[in-house]
Structure 1
Amino acid sequence: MSFDKYLKAKKALIITLDDAIYPEKDYLLQVYYLFSEFMAYTEQFDAKVMLDFMKAEFELHGNKDIFLKTAAKFGIANKYEHNFDLLHETARLPLKLLMYQNVLSLLQEVVVERNKIILLADGNPAVAINKIKQLEWHGLGEYLEVYFTAEYQFSIDKTLAAIFASKNIEPQEVTLILSENQFDQKIVNLDIDCFSVTEIL
């Protein structure tokens, strides 16, 4: 696959983390697995039944309120919500997170062209850091610069403006890759070449 469309006459590639570099599902399902095992150990729940329920809920409705739904289904005490949330920040996953293959190839090409790779991490910074640590970067980690949208009112537009100012680059000199959901929401208002990761995949 040729990446000239994304890299020609550019100085940097900016890419978001979840569902753009890797499928966030791979992280969340492992967190659910660890939580179900924790509940089996502490309260003797059936870990497999709980995990199957959480997987099914995720497939139907996503991650939103999944602890509350699981707690209601199995009679889990509210005190365990803290453990569930903490796992998102601290979990040591059984399996490494793997990048989309075409995204890996694109990032490798960016490095060959001696351009910058800038990672936009949305949401909770502690969770994002945990994900970044457990991604298989194939040696690309040392070339990354990470910006957290939490430092800029959770706005990708404001984060991009800060990047342009600090790096002394213009929007026209950058390619932005977003997850399909972010791209569909048209959350970026700056004059910048923006693509959905789906196009790359």
Structure 2
Amino acid sequence: MEISQLLKDKQAVIFELDNVLFPEKDYLLQVYYLFAQFIEYTEQKEAQAILDFMRVELEQSGSEGLFEKTAGRFEIDHKYQHNFDLLHQNARLPLKLLLFQAMLNFLQELVVNRIKIFIVTAGNPEQQLNKIKQTEWNGLEQYLTVYFADELKQQKAEIFQNILTSNHLSAEEALVIGANNFDAQQSKIVNLPYIRSQEIFN
């Protein structure tokens, strides 16, 4: 999609985080790597086998219930669920998270054109903040304004409306970029133009 056409008359762009600015799996797989290393150290179980299992499960079935599946497969004590959950919130990643190249280019274009950048992200606020802190923003972090929906205890539509109101913008002057139907529905509630992130990659 032509970026200049996309940004015509726009004053602000609102992004989700996961699978929009970077692949969520890049974060999760590093968390799983750290967890597998921890289990190898504490329980003498092979880290690589655990990580391989978790990777396949993530790709085939998603992250839901992954600890239970892994614990059952490798006879891991359920007391380690706490460690698993904690790593999601505060893991120090071995590698920085990298933005999709198309998104990096797009964000740089927004800065050049003095278009405001907002991130409105759902999910555990500590975990989402941890992702943001460990992303390679290439100097763009100073231009970001971030809202954590779960921390504010608001639907995204409410936050979108607050962004419009506080920045004196009409719905036509902003754009939401998301990755799922929920983001599309929340945008529609306040009549915000919406596109899926994949449209920028094509």
TM-score interval w.r.t. the shorter chain? Answer: over 0.9
Aligned residue type for 1:17: L
- Equivalence for 2:6: 6
Q: Secondary structure in 2 aligned to 1:92? A: coil
Q: Secondary structure in 1 aligned to 2:190? A: coil
Aligned residue type for 2:149: T
Q: Secondary structure in 1 aligned to 2:108? A: helix
Residue 176 of structure 2 contacts residue 194 of structure 2 at CA under 8 Å; is this kept in 1? yes
Structure 2 residue runs of 5 or longer lacking an equivalent are none
| Inter-CA distance 58–70: structure 2 relative to 1 (3 Å threshold) | same
Q: Give the alignment's TM-score, normalised by structure 2.
A: 0.94
- 1:79 shift after superposition: 1.2
Is 1:68 matched with 2:52? Answer: no
Residue 125 of structure 2 contacts residue 151 of structure 2 at CA under 8 Å; is this kept in 1? no
Residue 180 of structure 1 contacts residue 196 of structure 1 at CA under 8 Å; is this kept in 2? yes
Equivalent pairs counted in the alignment come to 200
Task: Show the 5 A alignment for 1:1-201.
Answer: 2-153=2-153, 155-180=155-180, 182=182, 186-188=185-187, 189-201=189-201
Q: Secondary structure in 2 aligned to 1:37? A: helix
Question: Distance in 2 between the 1:35 and 1:18 partners?
Answer: 21
Q: Give the alignment's TM-score, normalised by structure 1.
A: 0.94
What RMSD, in angstroms, separates the aligned Cα atoms of the two structures?
1.5
Structure 1 residue runs of 5 or longer lacking an equivalent are none
Question: Distance in 2 between the 1:165 and 1:187 partners?
Answer: 16
Question: Distance in 2 between the 1:100 and 1:38 partners?
Answer: 30
Question: Distance in 2 between the 1:60 and 1:122 partners?
Answer: 23
Question: Distance in 2 between the 1:162 and 1:76 partners?
Answer: 46
| Inter-CA distance 68–181: structure 2 relative to 1 (3 Å threshold) | farther
